[in-house]
Amino acid sequence: MAGQDFPSFVGIRDMAERHRELISRRGRPVVGWFCSYTPLEIIDAAGLHPYRIVPEPGRAMTRADSYIDRNYCPYVRTILGEAMDGAYDFMDGLVVLNSCDPMRRLYDVWRYNLAGKFIHLLDLPRIETESAVAYYRECLLGLVAALEDRFRVTISDAALAQAIADRNRTRSLLRELYIANRESGHLPAAQLHGVVRASTLLPRDDFALVLERLLDEVKGAPVEFKEGPRLLITGSIMDNPQIVEFIEECDARVVGDDLCNGTRQFWYEIGPDTDPLAALSRHYLGRTPCPRMKDAQRRFDHVLRMVDDFRADGVVFYTLKFCDPFLFDVPLLKEQLEQRGIPSLLLEGDYTPGTLGRVRTRIEAFIEMLRQDVRTA
Amino acid sequence: MLGLLKAAFHPAVAHRVLRRPLTYELLGRLGKNAYSRQNKRAQGIWFDFTSREMKAALRRENLVVWANAFFPFELLHALGVSPVHPETIAALAARLGLSRQAISCAEAGGYSPDTCSFYRCATGLNMENLLPPPDLVISASYLCDGAVKFFHNIARYYGCDYFLLDVPYHDTENARKYLAGQLEELAGIIAARQGKRFNPDRLVEALELSNQARDYFVRTNELRRASPSPLSGDDAISYVLDMQFFGPGSRAGADFFKALYEEVKTNVDSGQGPVAPEKLRLLWLHYIRPYYPNEVLSYLEEAGASICFGEANYVYWEPLDVAKPFESLAARVLANPSGGPLERRADLALELAEKYRVDGVIHFSHWGCRQSCGGEYVIRDLMKKKGVPMLILDGDGADSRNYSREQTRLRLEAFLEMLEANK
Ligand code: SF4
Ligand code: SF4
């Protein structure tokens, strides 16, 4: 496959595999996070290392059975199962956002069963009015105070401004990488996914270095697109990159995504403001919305724009089971896509590797249908 | 009464009948009389109140506003809008046997069977044009994610405005200010839509009525400590809960809780109750129970187990301060023990188990209700530490397809046996 022998991608993959070691070499306390609304800049500015917890599929799921209902967001269940197995003992703290019902229960059940660790719940408004921005700024201040207190650090405005500038750089590079790859088709989507994943694990400066090199290479690559339908994925968490790989094995291309652990993390940069916390508040409430926000149409518009920008022929909805915010969006977004002649397919994942087998035939049928559409178009 | 309703609302005729304002006018009168004759004055008031609201909304007598159960209705009564509360309508539809069809309709429209059936049912009833179209849609962002999304989708369906009351997680000064500000803004928006200025006197009046209702409700809850339990669990988690959601701030709400108090007091004074002899006392956890024809509660009561209290009926808010109407409504919203950290709900459950001297607890694990199911194991564990057995009863409030009579019965039977043995 193209890109497989990409030196820089391999570099990122190796680093991602060695992430624990790299983090420990830096000697910074590690703070785990879950939701893409987490203001990483504050954790950076505190001199801590933010680390996104996204377990591999299939691990520790049954372990969660005694701690939380079975009919529950499998992301949350897997995390709890792994936590009970001690997989996150190496972390020094956690920041949980009040993003959805399962997230706030993750916070509760974790604390009940694993007391002792620093764990902060950060509230998160669902609207983006001026008063919500002001309220959220207060909540961010609460996080600042809690981190300062627990880790005996001072989070200065200057450090926040620096962290914002650094993260903005990563954001824009990642975005550029997506756009460059959209043109060249050089990196398979699963590898692109791996790069984004690495950005949430690795020490920031290590990552930035390789990312820049990778970007140069992708930009310079010849156009390598195969024929076949172009797909955009929108969804909650992509637990299993093999799904993306499989789609590409069926001779379709996943050209872009709107995923919680994809572009939603970085697509827009943080705007300037003399007050860095206000800048963060405004940014996070106003960025590409997740389905949990009130203004779903803003999200739909974003997806429709991405369909245009990435010249997608079809859309795959990929949601983890029991993700209410996403499930309620499906009928509306599906209809809006249909009105533009864009077919869509709903796939549900349950955080087990077995998902793949079940969705295989549906993906094949969808791609076959698109291929006929593309041919007759 | 419900039997009569059911006969009238055979699904085949339901469509025509349910959309006529006159139907509700008639029903309201009939119901009020019938219930009063049975010494169920409170239920009569509820019936009349609910029918009148439906009629007003169908006649479009005023701005029609859809709102969720956890929104502070005092504000809506003060503004004189015609409220529609789809969650209750879904429960009623389930009682009348209309929910299955509605749910299938929603699922055919792309709504996942994994979401809460109350919202699927309401979505379907709406697709079948059985509900009065809104001029404005409002939802408080709690207790669940489903509320935020369902009401949004309804607003889109009708192309009307959606106001989300964004309820903070923590109960802090800042949170209260933020929430009170939103309520005040909303009052202005609604008044403007009605072409008038917001009248603060009306809000003061509504708050006073709400306080009256609250006072009687608190006293009723105190009386419910008696044995045998003076109020049936069935009533408590149906029409009483409805009035608790939608009544506060209205005259009917105040009248209702006074009448309820008197009925319960009569029972306590005469040592009567729906379950006699009362062999076991149970606490019910969740805001709902199955509403379609089922045997859960009747089985328990026949076996001598009373649902003597439910967390849903607990009065968690302080009397409202008429001098600070928006702030006190905000405080009321933020005081809900099901919001914020789980400790609040768990502590309350433990407190109620003790206060009502229960032998056991049933957590109704409604399919698709993440906010409540997510914490059930923790609560069960805490109860266990206190020596109170808790049953997690899987089921569904509005979708009868998820109800298995035999299985439910077996589970309840085993639980009651265990409780008996514990005594
Ligand atoms: S996948 Fe959905 S339900 Fe699960 S944590 Fe994410 S938003 Fe919440
Ligand atoms: S039962 Fe649960 S999910 Fe359904 S409306 Fe009530 S709180 Fe929401």
Q: What is the spatial distance between Cα A54 and Cα A236, in angstroms, rounded to a whole number? A: 12
Q: What is the spatial distance between Cα B412 and Cα B394, in angstroms, rounded to a whole number? A: 11
Q: What is the average per-residue pLDDT within B74-100? A: 94
Which range has the worst mean pLDDT, A14-23, A48-57, B117-126, B352-361? A14-23
What is the reported pLDDT for A1?
Answer: 41
Per residue in B212-223, pLDDT tens? Answer: 999 999 999 999
What is the reported pLDDT for A232?
Answer: 97
Strand order through the sheet with A49-52: A49-52, A30-33, A93-97, A118-122
Q: Which ligand is nearest to the CA of B375?
A: 2
B residues 306-365 closer than 8 Å to A (CB) = 341-343, 365
| Segments making up each domain of chain B, as ranges | 2-196
Position B387 pLDDT exceeds 80: yes
Which residues of chain B make contact with A123, given a CB cutoff of 8 A? 168-170, 175
What is the reported pLDDT for A377?
Answer: 58
C-alpha dist (Å) from residue B202 to A122, A185, A356, B213: 37, 64, 59, 17
Atom of ligand 1 nearest to the CA of A34: 5
Position B231 pLDDT exceeds 50: yes
Strand order through the sheet with B390-395: B305-310, B280-285, B360-366, B390-395
Q: What is the spatial distance between Cα A297 and Cα B300, in angstroms, rounded to a whole number? A: 47
What is the reported pLDDT for B41?
Answer: 93
Q: What is the spatial distance between Cα B414 and Cα B391, in angstroms, rounded to a whole number? A: 10
Position B121 pLDDT exceeds 60: yes
DSSP per-residue string spanning B136-175: EEEEES-S-HHHHHHHHHHHHHHT-EEEEE---SS--HHH
Which range has the worst mean pLDDT, A38-52, A57-71, A112-126, A267-281? A57-71
What is the reported pLDDT for B275?
Answer: 94
Q: What is the average per-residue pLDDT within B153-168? A: 97
Per residue in B267-278, pLDDT tens? Answer: 999 999 999 899
- Report the percentage of chain B scoring pLDDT > 90: 88
Residue B12 — very low, low, confident or very high, per pLDDT cuts 50/70/90?
low
Which range has the worst mean pLDDT, A247-251, A275-279, B63-67, B289-293? A247-251
CB pair distance less than 8 Å for B164 and A66: no
Count chain A–chain B contacts defined by CB atoms under 8 A. 126
CB pair distance less than 8 Å for A104 and B169: yes
B381 to chain A nearest CA, in Å? 10
Q: What is the spatial distance between Cα B272 and Cα B384, in angstroms, rounded to a whole number? A: 31
Backbone dihedral angles phi then psi of residue A111, each to the nearest 5 degrees: -60, -40
Which range has the worst mean pLDDT, A178-192, A349-363, B61-75, B406-420? A349-363
Higher pLDDT, A28 or B31: A28
- Is residue A121 within a helix (H) or strand (E), and if so which, with residue range? strand A118-122
Tell me the ipTM for this assembly: 0.94
B85: helix, coil or strand? coil
Which residues of chain B make contact with A292, given a CB cutoff of 8 A? 145, 148
What is the reported pLDDT for B116?
Answer: 96
| CA-based nearest residue in chain A for residue B112 | A327
B69: helix, coil or strand? coil
Q: Which of B366, B375, B384 is nearest to B341 (CA)?
A: B375
Q: Name which of B168, B342, B370 is nearest A324 (Cβ-Cβ).
A: B370
Position A130 pLDDT exceeds 90: yes
Residue A2 — very low, low, confident or very high, per pLDDT cuts 50/70/90?
very low
Q: What is the average per-residue pLDDT within B308-323? A: 98
What is the reported pLDDT for A241?
Answer: 85
**Distance from the first to the final alpha carbon of chain A:** 28
Strand partners, A346: A317
Q: Does the beta carbon of B366 lie inside 6 Å of ligand 2? A: yes
Query: Which CATH architecture describes the domain B2-196?
Result: 3-Layer(aba) Sandwich (3.40)
What is the reported pLDDT for A3?
Answer: 42
Higher pLDDT, A130 or B5: A130
CB B109 within 8 A of CB A321: no
Q: What is the average per-residue pLDDT within B336-344? A: 96
Position A358 pLDDT exceeds 80: no
Determine which residue's CA is closest to atom 2 belonging to ligand 2: B369
C-alpha dist (Å) from residue B354 to A364, B225, B276, B292, B309: 58, 10, 21, 31, 11
CB B350 within 8 A of CB B382: yes
Who contacts B49 (Cβ-Cβ below 8 Å, separation ≥6)?
B243, B246, B247, B250, B252, B253, B256
Q: What is the average per-residue pLDDT within B245-258? A: 97
What is the reported pLDDT for A45?
Answer: 98
Residues with CB under 6 A from ligand 1: A 73, 75-76, 100, 102-103, 236-237, 260, 320, 323, 325-326
A68, A75, A101, A355, best to mutate for ligand 1 pocket (most atoms within 8 Å of CB): A75
Residue B92, judged by CB atoms within 10 A of its CB (0-12, 13-18, 19+), counts as buried
A286 to chain B nearest CA, in Å? 15
